[in-house]
A and B are shown apart, each in its own frame.
Chain A
Amino acid sequence: MSIIEKLKPKFWSNGVRDAGMGTTRHLFNFRRIWNLAVFLTAGVALVPLISMTLIHYEVTQNAIESEVRNHTMRLVRNTWRTVSYFLNERKTVLDLVAHEHTYEDLKNPIKLAAILKNLKKRLGGVVDLGVIDSSGIQTNYVGPYPLVNKDYSDQESFKKVIESGIYTSDFFLGFRNVPHMVIARKYVIQNGSFYVLRATLDIKPVNKALNEIEVSGLGDVFVINRKGMLQTPSRYHGKILEKVSLPVPRYSKEIQVVECNTSNREPLIVGYAYIPDTPFILMIVQQKTELMERWYKTRMELFWFLVISITLILIVTLGMATYLVNKIYIADNERVSSLHKVEYSNRLASIGRLAAGVAHEVNNPLAIINEKAGLIKDLFTYKEMYSEDTKLISLIDSIISSVERCGTITKRLLGFARHMEVSIRSINVREVLEEVLGFLEKEAEYRSIKVSLNVPDDIPEFESDRGKVQQIFLNLVNNAFAAMEDGGSLDITVKREDEDFISATVTDTGCGIPKTDIERIFCPFFSTKTEKGGTGLGLSITCGLVQEIGGKIDVQSEVGKGTTFTITLPLKIDKERK
């Protein structure tokens, strides 16, 4: 038997067959009730739970995503401020230098050297200073390289500064492999001409500030120019002054946070800001999975919460529905069984009354036949002319003996019907068995069934309900006859078990009961003879009757060999049972 078969409740296969078929059938379709109970209860419990969980899922995911974006935005803003401040500070310093000193002063190498020294001391990060006249010639220069009189007139940077008044270069590595940048500003002098003040800046402080920004494990902070060339070192997105491995973000005045999905790697959250008046774009790149880790953990907790809740709800729902429907099934089964018993008893009582009526009515004409035949015999016996006619006498004797036989039958019927009434009296078990076997005497004869009855002399008379005892034996003997082929044998043996009990075994040589059926033969409605009109109540009623008079019933059977029913009965019936 499979596990599913074992777990299947009793009503699953039994409770559907007879649904709604009159008062002595099941009132309900138990499988339908079970389905309804399970689906409604589970639905009412699960739908709100799943809905709430989905809403919670959506809200939490949005909240965490929003928090991630805001966090990235704050990080970009702060870094952007640091970088902008660095550049603006230098520009302002150049303005101050131009404002505080005349062009003539700036052309003086000693004064310019003093200014540079002062800037290095006060500000730091200024590598050199140069003054370029309106024709593009660097007229004065203080710094590590011999760049005095260098001609910048053809260079793009000079053209740009003349055009827009300010020029900020890309970052570049100098001779010492230190990142630098150049800022140049145009200043107009009194005669309408102009000069350009040019400073080379060490951008180590920018790199240091970028390095100090705390980003999660695989996060990266760097600066690119508008062509996508990395201006500061990047941990994961390319080498300095090489093309960054990410697309250049779209121009925006505001700080932006976008999601970047590339086919060959995990989705990234990219926060960026264009630094005004420079070619720089500040970028903070973080892996989405890392940022969303807290969400993934919450999501997993939510998932397990849902799985465990659904499992618990289903287990409780299934358990409760099965338990309750099973209880209803058992109660309904008992109701049906009781109705059947009442119906059976009523039918038996009706048959008993009918039999008694018939027997009584038949008895009177039988008595008349008996007396008339007796009279004829008397006439023949007492009148000499016929007394010698043996043939006539034997004919009359045969009539009288037939009447006696009929009389025996009517007496037995009357006796049987009378014992249907409940009454506790002293019972001679031999008499009861002989009476029961008397009903089947002819059938046994026709079918050549050998019937043997063994009742030892030491079996005492005992107190019980005679009607029930005779019905128990009649049912068992009837069953045995039904199970046997012609020519079988039936053995009934009574013995004394102990001081308080006797036992009776009814053994037949019939077809036997398979092991799979033996546990269920006393259950109501279990029948293997439904096609032949079996109700499946015979043994159930027999078992009930045995229990009612304080006894017990056992069965042993072997397929093909036969069956033995053993009934143990108390010699005294309980007062309460009476």
Chain B
Amino acid sequence: MRLLLVDDEGELVSTIAERLSFRGIDADWVTSGEEALKKAETESYDLAVLDVKMPRISGIRLKGMLEEKYPDMKFIFMTGHGSEDDFRTGSTNAFYLVKPINIEALVSKINEALKK
């Protein structure tokens, strides 16, 4: 299982990747949509964890771009804004987590998403 973490906050996304590695999940991280698209071309990922609000390419747009190229890829959104209700109205098929996230909650969402 390979994960791609995308968030403009490098400090955050790198730490999450490191913490996931302690839990046996191998995750790469990038800090923008463009980097994520490049990374996806070189590596194959089962799941992407995306920040909703990012400069230039937003998480939602990035999800659409990745989904187009890699239809089997699963997605989890992280957001510092809004509630689950709001989020669901925009994107019904994705999982979400509100920052600051709980790592165990992220792990269980990852498992849930991959099982789907």
Contacts and interface: CB of A to CB of B under 8 A. Distances in A.
A370 interface: yes
Given A378-B22, A418-B86, A363 B15 contact: no
Contacts of B83: 411, 414-415, 418
B35 interface: no
Given A375-B15, A375-B18, A382-B22, A370 B80 contact: no
B12 A371 contact: yes
B100 A404 contact: yes
A306 B80 CA distance: 82
Name the residue among A370, A382, A406 with the largest chain B CB count within 10 angstroms: A370
Contacts of A407: 98-100
A370 B16 CA distance: 10
Interface in B92-116: 98-103
Contact of A374 (B19, B81, B86, B99): B19
Contacts of A367: 9, 12, 80, 99-101
B96 to A, nearest CB: 13
B68 interface: no
Interface in B28-70: none
A374 B15 contact: yes
A415 B11 CA distance: 26
A368 B19 contact: no
B11 to A, nearest CB: 5
A368 B80 contact: no
Q: Which of B12, B86, B98, B100 has the most CB of A within 10 A?
A: B100
Given A371-B100, A414-B81, A364 B9 contact: yes
B98 A411 contact: yes
B19 A363 contact: no
B82 interface: yes
Nearest to B13: A371
Given A375-B15, A403-B100, A368 B22 contact: no
Interface string A393-421: 00000000001101100010011001000
B15 A364 contact: no
Contacts of A406: 100
Given A360-B80, A374-B103, A382-B22, A368 B98 contact: no
Given A366-B99, A367-B101, A370-B100, A360 B81 contact: yes
A442 interface: no
**Binding site secondary structure of chain A:** helix
Nearest to B85: A425
Contacts of B19: 371, 374-375, 378
Given A363-B99, A367-B101, A374-B15, A414 B82 contact: yes
B80 A364 contact: yes
Contacts of A366: 99-100
Contacts of A381: 22
A439 B15 CA distance: 32
A369 B11 CA distance: 10
A256 B101 CA distance: 125
Contacts of B98: 407, 411
Nearest to A382: B22
B82 A368 contact: no
A372 interface: yes
A349 to B, nearest CB: 17
A418 B82 contact: yes
Scoring A363, A374, A415 by chain B CB atoms within 10 A of each residue's CB, the highest score goes to A374
Contacts of B9: 364, 367-368
**Among A360, A367, A372, A406, which residue has the most Cβ atoms of chain B within 10 A?**
A367
A155 B11 CA distance: 160
A415 B98 CA distance: 12
A235 B104 CA distance: 134
Given A371-B19, A371-B100, A404-B100, A363 B80 contact: yes
Contacts of A363: 80-81, 99-100
Contacts of A364: 9, 12, 80, 99
Contacts of A374: 15, 19, 103
B78 to A, nearest CB: 8
Interface of B: 9, 11-12, 15-16, 18-19, 22, 80-83, 86, 98-103
22 contacts: A360-B81, A364-B99, A366-B100, A367-B9, A367-B12, A367-B80, A367-B100, A367-B101, A368-B9, A368-B15, A371-B100, A372-B15, A374-B15, A374-B103, A378-B18, A378-B19, A378-B22, A382-B22, A404-B100, A414-B83, A415-B83, A418-B83
CB-CB nearest 7 A-B residue pairs: A370-B100, A363-B80, A371-B15, A367-B100, A367-B99, A378-B22, A368-B12
